[in-house]
Amino acid sequence: MGVVYHTHYLDYFEAARTEALRDLGVRYRDLETRGIIMPVVSVDVQYRGPAEYDDLLTIEAHFPRMPSVRVPIDYTVRQHDATDVLATGHTDLCFMDAEQRRPIRIPDTVRDAFQPVLRDA
């Protein structure tokens, strides 16, 4: 159809949140080394307009509040250098003990990384 397949937006969200966390000083690899994983527990996407193959896109990831056990993340997808929104979305991730496969509270180091950028911390 000449447009980006709908599930690719989930890959875009993953890349955006990985880079957003990295910008805060939180690397997935470091968490996994400590036995902490962050699976996606819910996802929602609203498609507003098509992205076409070979379009240059900007995907913004925004953390609306301090994570606790869950990590809420909002996304906006636009054509690069454009204002029209092509898609919006939301994911909830969960801090989880990799061995026990049980939810855990936000690690102190992650809370410390979020503290300067989130007001309701």
pLDDT digits (tens, 9 = 90+) for 41-96: 999 999 999 999 889 999 999 999 999 999 999 999 999 888 899 999 999 999 99
- At 120, the pLDDT band (50, 70, 90 cuts) reads low
Q: What is the DSSP letter of 64?
A: -
Question: Above 80 in pLDDT, residue 119?
Answer: no
Domain ranges of the chain: 8-111
pTM: 0.92
Question: Above 50 in pLDDT, residue 121?
Answer: no
8-111: which CATH architecture? Roll (3.10)
For residue 100, which amino acid is it? Q
Distance CA 54, CA 44 (A): 24
* Alpha helices, DSSP H, located in the chain: 8-23, 28-33, 108-114
